[in-house]
Amino acid sequence: MEALELASFAHIVFFTGAGLSAESGIPTYRGAGGLWGSYDYESYACQRAFDADPNKVWDFHDERRRRMAAADPSQAHRIIAAVGQSHPSVAVVTQNIDGLQQRAGSTDVIELHGSIWRVRCACHPAPQEDLGVPLEPRSCPGCGLWRRPDIVWFEDPLQPEPIARALAALETCDLLLSIGTSGVVYPAASLPEIASRRGSRCIEINPEPTQVSSWYDTHYREQASAALSALFPAFDFG
């Protein structure tokens, strides 16, 4: 695998999914050991489930918070953060809700699917950070209504602000690295095609082929940390 010369690119985008956090011990959603193999998302990750049984949905998300809080950023998260600190134009567009990329040192992360570390309620539509494990209290002290995680559940629309920022990044990048995403959850999955159609250099890092592999000119069928260490040897902290 040939190392990438950072100075050769004007605008770099890392587009990341659950596989990026797999080496931190956070289960992916699909595939072997995937979350949706054990949990029916219609019972745990949609507004209808929350309306029907908010405590059950919060029990599930509190367990996810506990696991994510106990995890450490991987070498892959740290390399992405280091590239961001060493190049003038790097955007991280993530589908992950775990906050690990920020904990690795990235300061500007576009969260397409929100964050499990923010909550909102009917009387506080602006999301508020809450790092409690478990979340306490589950209802808003002000209005008494349920607080819900600020994540894009199934059947929720994407938030316009992160989508606009992601589009702007993908419309200008000349290097796209997609890492650890199956490319099956739309509309997020469609975003990398913008860079591919513009003729940007497009690299997919995933141990498995995906439904969108044809958008990428180069494929590394490896774990995220191994591939990024080889592509950016100056930032190999291993």
Residue 100 CB, nearest approach to ligand NAD (Å): 13
Q: How far is the CB of 211 from ligand NAD (least distance, A)?
A: 9
Nearer to ligand NAD, 96 or 196 (CB): 96
Under a CB-based contact definition with an 8 Å cutoff, are residues 16 and 84 in contact?
no
Identify whether the C-beta of residue 144 lies closer than 8 Å to the C-beta of residue 173: no
Q: How far is the CB of 169 from ligand NAD (least distance, A)?
A: 17
Q: What is the DSSP string of 47-92?
A: HHHHHH-HHHHHHHHHHHHHHHHH----HHHHHHHHHHHHSS-EEE
Annotated catalytic residues are 113
Q: Which residues contact 48 (CB under 8 A, 6 or more apart)?
A: 42, 155
Min dist CB 51 to ligand NAD, Å, is: 15
Which of 89/133 has CB closer to ligand NAD?
A: 133
Interface residues with ligand NAD (CB under 6 A) are 17-19, 22-23, 28-31, 34, 45, 95-96, 113, 151-154, 179-182, 184-185, 205-208, 210, 223-224
Closest C-alpha among 91, 87, 89 to residue 6: 87
Residue of closest CB approach to ligand NAD: 19
Nearest Cα residue to 43 out of 57, 29, 31: 57
Q: Which is nearer to ligand NAD, 27 or 105 (CB)?
A: 27
What values do phi and psi take at 221, rounded to 5?
Answer: -85, 65
Q: CB of 4 within 8 A of CB of 232?
A: yes
Closer residue to ligand NAD in complex, CB, 9/153: 153
Q: Confirm if 158 and 187 have CB atoms less than 8 A apart.
A: yes
* C-beta closer to ligand NAD: residue 30 or 103: 30
Residue type, 135: L
Cα–Cα distance between 165 and 110 in angstroms, integer?
A: 7
Least CB distance to ligand NAD at residue 185 (A): 4
